[in-house]
Amino acid sequence: MVVIRSVRFLYVQKNHGAKNWNIKLSTNIEHICQIKKASLEGIRFRDRKLHGLTIRLDGLYDIIVQLEEKRVLSNGKDIIMLKQIENRRSIRKYLNKKVEQEKLIQVLESARLAPSGSNTQPWVFIVVESGEIKEKLSMADHQQKWMMTAPVFIVCVADIRCRISEDINVRLDENSPEPELKQIIRDTAIAIEHILLEAEHLGLATCWTAWFEQNAVRPILNIPEDKYVCGIITLGYGDEMPKNRPRKKLEEMVRYEKW
């Protein structure tokens, strides 16, 4: 039986017409529900810096209400998804805080629903929480020691067997010529991006890492040689808030009607 001794909510509020957000604490669930219902605007709140103020919540509050940002475009369309895409960062420092099982499952569920060519769904996800195995993986992944601060790794594997029969001998590596390899990497990459965005949505942080060779990573997890590891995703609660990395302008990448 779980006994909740005290439940405190941290929330942010902005008075009508005011410029700034106020950070408040409440112990009244009904009050929080009312705010959540009534708020047309809000900001997502988590263990991150907010307007220059570092809010460390580890263990301090039992429940944190996340008021989702909901801005409405002039045409009435909700831009919350775009906001989350904009907020996501590659995080390389994590809090010493476990990822709740429900959140982990929800993140994996987002990958399950990803689209794939001919609906082949050529992916397998290996969840790693063991310190010993994480250590081996981070060493194989260009000795990126920061990875060890993440409580969970998700090793994302593409399986060519949805396109090539088991009878045909295939051993994959970075130089493999099989055209199907491109297809399974493409599809698995979509599912990985779902993971990154769903994690962001849940207030979790991630970093896609892939600074490894197939032959270094596969044996650690007994992955057969006809599978291709597309990435090792670190997952946890972020303990840093890096500035956004630059992106090209839309004009540099979008063309209309012809190249």
Ligand X SMILES: Cc1cc2nc3c(=O)[nH]c(=O)nc-3n(C[C@H](O)[C@H](O)[C@H](O)COP(=O)(O)O)c2cc1C
Report how far residue 212's alpha carbon sits from residue 139's, in angstroms, rounded to the nearest whole number: 9
Minimum CB–partner distance for residue 13 and ligand X (Å): 29
The answer to the question of residue 245 lying near ligand X (CB under 6 A) is yes
Binding-residue pattern over the window 89 to 128 for ligand X, x denoting contact by CB under 6 A: xx-x------------------------------------
User: Which residue lies nearer to ligand X by CB, 66 or 138?
Assistant: 138
3-class DSSP state of 87: helix
- Residue 128 forms beta bridges with which residues? 153
User: Which C-beta is closer to ligand X: that of 90 or that of 176?
Assistant: 90
Helical (H) or strand (E) element with 69: none
Residue 208 binding ligand X, by CB under 6 A: yes
Question: Of 125-154, which residues contact ligand X (CB under 6 A)?
Answer: 144
Q: 65 or 150, CB closer to ligand X?
A: 150
Single-letter amino acid code for the residue at 188: T
Is 234 a binding residue for ligand X by CB under 6 A? The answer is no
Q: Which residues contact 44 (CB under 8 A, 6 or more apart)?
A: 66, 67, 68, 69, 84, 87, 203
Interface pattern 38-77 for ligand X (x via CB under 6 A): ----------------------------------------
Query: How many residues at the interface with ligand X, by CB under 6 A?
Result: 11
Q: Pick from 209, 9, 182: which is nearest to 91 by CA?
A: 209
The minimum distance between CB 148 and ligand X, in angstroms, equals 13
**Residue in 79, 127, 210, 221 binding ligand X, rule: CB under 6 A:** 210
Q: Angle of helix 101-112 relative to helix 179-201, nearest 10 degrees?
A: 140
Query: Per rule CB under 6 A, is residue 211 in the interface with ligand X?
Result: yes
Q: Which is nearer to ligand X, 164 or 221 (CB)?
A: 221
> How far is residue 131's CA from residue 16's CA, in Å, rounded to a whole number?
49
**CA-wise closest residue to 156 among 132, 179, 185, 131:** 185
Q: Which residues contact 75 (CB under 8 A, 6 or more apart)?
A: none
Residues in touch with ligand X (CB under 6 A): 89-90, 92, 144, 207-211, 231, 245
